[in-house]
């Protein structure tokens, strides 16, 4: 008859006890390791990887800034090229305005006058599509950034420092003055002349 074997030694208890086989074959570490072994240190972040990541982020930001700068410079070059062409066309626009301004009233309905007016409007509309804008000067305060004073004239109809008349229209291109308006600036009343106010 079979009799169960008695475990006599503590070695056998450790071997056949819970976790004994795993410990014997190295599958599991015993929690009660020898005191010589140091607890594992938490992994330090790899500083070299962090440095490379920072470097790449800086390079990426520099590249984005470079692309923006190149696009801005290209847009400025396009505007500058347009500016030179528009400055050459402004005298033509002035000539149209002078020619149409001297047409007698009885000839205003003539076909050739209407044709000139149509050409002037088309030219002006084309230039406005490119960013050209006429400076509105008459009756406004004199602004040396937008107006060029041809001379000053005493006026009882305008306050001192106001633009009394415009000799030649001024223009802006994308809110930047490319040609100031030539204007007559009102001065105060002459000495001895009564004030109208």
Report residue 193's pLDDT band, with 50, 70 and 90 as the boundaries: low
**Is the distance from CB of 178 to CB of 83 less than 8 angstroms?**
yes
Integer angstrom CA distances of residue 181 from 89, 166, 186: 16, 7, 15
Q: pLDDT value at position 195?
A: 47
Lookup: tokens for 183? 């204007």
pLDDT for position 9: 52
Q: Read off the pLDDT band of 141 (50, 70, 90).
A: confident
Distances (CA, A) of 113 to 18, 92, 117, 135, 184: 113, 16, 6, 26, 29
Report the relative pairing of strands 171-173 and 132-134 from DSSP bridges: antiparallel
Which residues make Cβ contacts (< 8 Å) with residue 99, sequence separation at least 6?
A: 116
User: How does residue 115 score in pLDDT terms, banded at 50, 70 and 90?
Assistant: very high
Confidence bin at 165 (pLDDT 50/70/90): confident
Which H or E element spans position 181? strand 181-187
pLDDT confidence tier of residue 13, bands split at 50, 70 and 90: low
CA 194 to chain centre: 53
In the predicted model, is pLDDT for residue 90 greater than 60?
A: yes
Is the confidence at residue 41, as pLDDT, over 70? no
Q: Is the pLDDT of residue 197 over 50?
A: no
Assign residue 141 a region (left: φ > 0; alpha: ψ between -120 and 50; beta: otherwise). beta
* Helix/strand number for the chain, H first, E second: 4, 6
Burial class (CB in 10 A: 0-12, 13-18, 19+), 79: middle
Mean pLDDT of the chain: 78
Residues 6+ apart with CB under 8 A from 118: none
Output the pLDDT for position 180. 92
The whole-number average pLDDT for the span 85-104 is: 91
Give percent of the chain with pLDDT exceeding 90. Answer: 29
Assigned token pair, 38: 């140091």
Domain boundaries, the chain: 52-130, 132-197
Q: What CATH superfamily is the domain 132-197?
A: Head domain of nucleotide exchange factor GrpE (2.30.22.10)
Tokens read off for 179: 């040609």
Highest mean pLDDT among 137-141, 154-158, 167-171, 193-197: 167-171
């Amino acid at each position: 008859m079979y009799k169960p074997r008695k475990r006599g030694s503590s070695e056998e208890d450790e071997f056949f006890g819970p976790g004994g086989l795993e410990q014997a074959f190295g599958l599991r570490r015993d929690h009660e390791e020898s005191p010589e072994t140091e607890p594992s240190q938490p992994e330090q972040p790899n500083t070299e990887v962090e440095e490379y990541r920072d470097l790449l982020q800086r390079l990426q930001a520099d590249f984005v800034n470079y692309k923006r700068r190149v696009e801005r410079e290209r847009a400025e070059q396009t505007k500058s090229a347009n500016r030179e062409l528009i400055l050459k066309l402004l005298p033509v626009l002035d000539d149209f305005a002078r020619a149409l301004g001297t047409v007698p009233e009885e000839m205003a309905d003539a076909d050739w006058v209407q044709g000139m007016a149509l050409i002037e409007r088309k030219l002006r509309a084309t230039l406005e599509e490119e960013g050209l804008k006429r400076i509105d000067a008459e009756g406004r305060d004199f602004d040396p950034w937008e107006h060029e004073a041809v001379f000053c004239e005493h006026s009882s109809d305008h306050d001192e420092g106001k633009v009394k008349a415009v000799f030649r229209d001024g223009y802006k291109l994308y809110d930047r003055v490319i040609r100031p308006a030539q204007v007559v600036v009102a001065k105060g009343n002459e000495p001895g002349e009564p004030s109208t106010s």
